[in-house]
A and B are shown apart, each in its own frame.
Chain A
Amino acid sequence: MTKEMNLEERFQAYVDGENKVEPKDWMPEKYRKTLIRQISQHAHSEVVGMLPEANWITRAPSLRRKVALLAKVQDEAGHGLYLYSAAETLGADRMDMVDDLLTGKAKYSSIFNYPTPTWADIGAIGWLVDGAAIANQVMLCRTSYGPYSRAMVRICKEESFHQRQGYEILMTLAQGTPEQKQMAQDALNRWWWPSLMMFGPTDDNSPNSAQSMKWKIKRKSNDELRQEFIDKTIPQAEYLGLSVPDPDLKWNEERGHYDFGTIDWEEFYQVIKGNGKCNKQRLRARQEAHAKGEWVREAANAYAEKQAVRKAKEGSAA
């Protein structure tokens, strides 16, 4: 048996014993790579995810909603920061990760390539998109990599707040004028299926999942998480008095779960490929922010250097 094998077996036993892996611990190269890809992708999703909602900050219909939305989008920026830091503990560099996003090399969650044409979308995103994210992230609070798991614990608290806020927006609309109710229903129609797609392909089409489960990076399969989300969300939709756009949806007494219709995976792959309504717009917004910020970052660095030199001079003069 090679020494490497030995290490890998010990690593597996360590993870199997529900121990957290920390940055200085030995880990298989593939474990490190998988995590860097997953965490940076998650960070990019938080940052790109700011855009569809930021789209409504200036148009939020009341001061209370405006403040809550701005604070929410700002939280997402904070989540991006925690996650970039978590990825950096694995030896990745934030600027490289950002470059990968801007050049289109790195992925982010496809859900953010859908547009937010109405105010009700802000409610639907909070309820469904943050809701689906929570299902995934609650699981990730127990992920085997320590810094990722701790980042998730912090993030999950804020995400549940976002979800409640989104649900409350929809509740207000659902109980409002006929136009408002229609707006809410329309948003649910558009966000329902994309939210289910957030959990990724079905288990039989998800080749990398098994290894991630073995390393306890993931602890539940895509299909398990999706089912959990559906079971939790349907009663909430009923309470709103809105109908979920799936004629095949019904409670299955025997399974103790809702049965649901077939997901349009063709749409999912088209959006991943770049053909969603907003793929180009989202990426361009990030590229433009980065390009327009270039001179600002340069100036901040130049000033910091000048200050350091001045300090050093003062020090030697004293």
Chain B
Amino acid sequence: MKAQLLEYTLRLGDNALILGQRLGEWCGHGPILEQDIALSNIALDQLGQARMLMQYAAEQKGGDFTEDKVAFLRPETEYHNCLLVELENGDWGRTIVRQFLFDTYNYFFYSALLSSADNRLQEIAQKAIKEITYHAQWSAEWLIRLGDGTEESHQRVQRSLNDLWEWTGELFSMDAVDEALLAEGIAVNLAEIKVQWDQKVNEILSLATLKRPEDAWMQSGGKQGEHSEYLGYVLAVMQHLPRMYPEATW
């Protein structure tokens, strides 16, 4: 139970951390200042959530663990984020599609987490849900704008959607950790939120005049620590100072 709760906490924390890290790459390079600011806001929210979750994970680990030690000093196989959030940003459209797919999932996930039997997770969900609701709205609006914008924008986001689709299956696959904690009333039932996600995604895709890709092979493994090639680079950049100066505090 204890080990499972820790892994569950890290899954949530790593989703927020790695996505925040990816979105941070956009800062200063957005298509227009207003949207640079908007995306930075989302990155800041993700990193804020990551901090709460890393603090909780550090407490569970005990000893001299801190949020930073947990966030920065694990090897790649001990990161438990889903694969979707570690993928490259690509163009603005691809970032929006990834954000929409994830935010929509995250919204239903955190809505369900509001009734978790674990007090801390429940509290964190309480704090995060407002932000996540806003993110899901923002990315849905942008997807509609790009899907129903120009011929070029339509094609670009349709292509990104087709590309990213195979990384969404993992969001809803239950493994032993999910099952054990679900039995305790702690974890979210992913089969339930899959239904909600499907419905919302279909609704927004139709408003965006985009075609839902066929469900084919779905990638998986991130939650369990088996990652794509992308995560290594994200971590190399993120970890380099704490690794280079292990004695230092910042």
Binding site for B on A (CB under 8 A): 47, 50-51, 54, 57-59, 61-67, 70-71, 73-74, 77-78, 80-81, 119, 169, 172-173, 176-177, 179-180, 285, 288-289, 292-300, 302-303, 306
- Interface positions, chain B 26-42, Cβ under 8 Å from A, are 27-37, 40-41
User: Could you tell me the distance between the alpha carbons of A227 and B163 in the complex, rounded to whole angstroms?
Assistant: 58
Residues of B within 8 A of A180 (CB): 245, 248
Check B153 against A63 for contact (C-beta < 8 Å).
no
Tell me, in angstroms, the Cα distance from A285 to B26 when the chains sit together.
12
B25 CB within 8 Å of chain A: yes
Contact (Cβ within 8 A) A65 B250: yes
Minimum C-beta distance from B92 to chain A (A): 5
CB neighbours (8 Å) of B37 from chain A are 74, 77-78, 81
Would you call A74 and B146 a contact (CB within 8 A)?
no
Report 16 cross-chain contacts, Cβ distance below 8 Å, ordered by A residue. Answer: A62-B68, A62-B72, A62-B250, A63-B17, A67-B44, A70-B40, A74-B37, A179-B245, A292-B31, A292-B92, A293-B30, A293-B32, A295-B152, A296-B153, A298-B152, A300-B149
Query: Counting CB contacts under 8 A, is B193 at the interface?
Result: no
**Contacts A63-B67, A67-B47, A81-B34: A289 and B28 contacting too (C-beta < 8 A)?**
yes
* Cβ-defined contact, A299 with B145, below 8 A: yes
CB distance from B86 to the nearest CB of A (A): 13
Chain A residues touching B, majority SS: helix
Which of the candidate stretches B129-137, B184-192, B234-242 sits at the interface with the other chain? Answer: B234-242
In the bound complex, CA of A318 to CA of B220 (Å): 50
A70: which B residues are within 8 A, CB to CB?
24, 27, 40, 43-44, 47
For residue B150, CB closer than 8 A to chain A, the reply is yes
- Which B residue's beta carbon lies closest to that of A80? B33
Which of A73, A176, A177 is in CB contact (< 8 Å) with B28?
A73
B177 interfacial contact with A, CB 8 Å: no
CB proximity of A161 to chain B, nearest CB, Å = 15
Contact yes or no, B24 A58, CB < 8 A: yes
Q: How far is the CB of A126 from chain B (nearest CB, A)?
A: 14
Contact, CB under 8 Å: A289 / B30? yes
Q: Is B48 an interface residue (CB 8 A)?
A: yes
How many chain B residues have a CB neighbour from A under 8 Å?
A: 50
Q: Which 4 A-B pairs have CB atoms at the shortest separation, nearest pair first?
A: A293-B31, A299-B149, A299-B153, A54-B28
Given contacts A176-B249, A285-B28, contact A299 B150 (CB under 8 A): yes
Whether B6 is near chain A, meaning CB under 8 Å from some CB there, is no
Binding site for A on B (CB under 8 A): 17, 21, 24-25, 27-37, 40-41, 43-44, 47-48, 50-51, 54, 67-68, 71-72, 91-93, 144-146, 148-150, 152-153, 156, 237-238, 240-242, 245, 247-250
Nearest A residue (CB) for B237: A58
Interface contact B51-A67, CB-CB below 8 Å: yes
Q: Are B156 and A77 in contact (CB under 8 A)?
A: no
Q: Knowing that A54-B29, A77-B28, A303-B148 are A-B contacts, what are 10 other residue pairs whose CB atoms are under 8 Å apart, sorted by A's residue number?
A: A57-B24, A57-B27, A64-B51, A67-B48, A73-B40, A172-B249, A180-B245, A292-B91, A299-B152, A300-B145
A residues near B17, Cβ cutoff 8 Å: 63
Tell me the complex Cα distance, A306–B250, Å: 51
Name the CB-closest residue of B to A299. B149
> A77 and B249: CB pair below 8 A?
no
Q: A74 and B31: CB pair below 8 A?
A: no
Which B residues are in CB contact (< 8 Å) with A297? 31-32
Expressed in whole angstroms, the minimum distance between the Cβ of B202 and any Cβ of chain A is: 20
Chain A residues with CB under 8 Å of B33's CB are 47, 77, 80-81
B12 CB to nearest chain A CB (Å): 15
Contacts of B240 in A (CB 8 A): 59
Q: How far is the CB of B172 from the nearest CB of chain A, in Å?
A: 28
Q: Report Cα–Cα, A68/B241, bound state, in Å.
A: 17
Q: Is there an interface contact between A293 and B145, defined as CB atoms closer than 8 Å?
A: no
- The docked-state distance in angstroms from the alpha carbon of A292 to that of B44 is 23
Point out the residues of chain B lying under 8 angstroms from A296, CB to CB.
31-32, 35, 92-93, 146, 153
**Cα separation A195 to B175 with both chains bound (whole Å):** 56
Q: Which among A57, A61, A296 has the highest number of chain B CB atoms within 10 Å?
A: A296
Residue of A81, A119, A303 with highest tally of chain B CB at under 10 A: A303
B24 touches A74 (CB 8 A): no
- Residue contact A77 to B40, C-beta cutoff 8 Å: yes
Is A74 touching B44 in the complex (CB atoms < 8 A)?
Answer: yes
User: Is the Cβ of A63 less than 8 Å from the Cβ of B51?
Assistant: yes
Whether the pair A293, B250 counts as a contact (CB closer than 8 A) is no
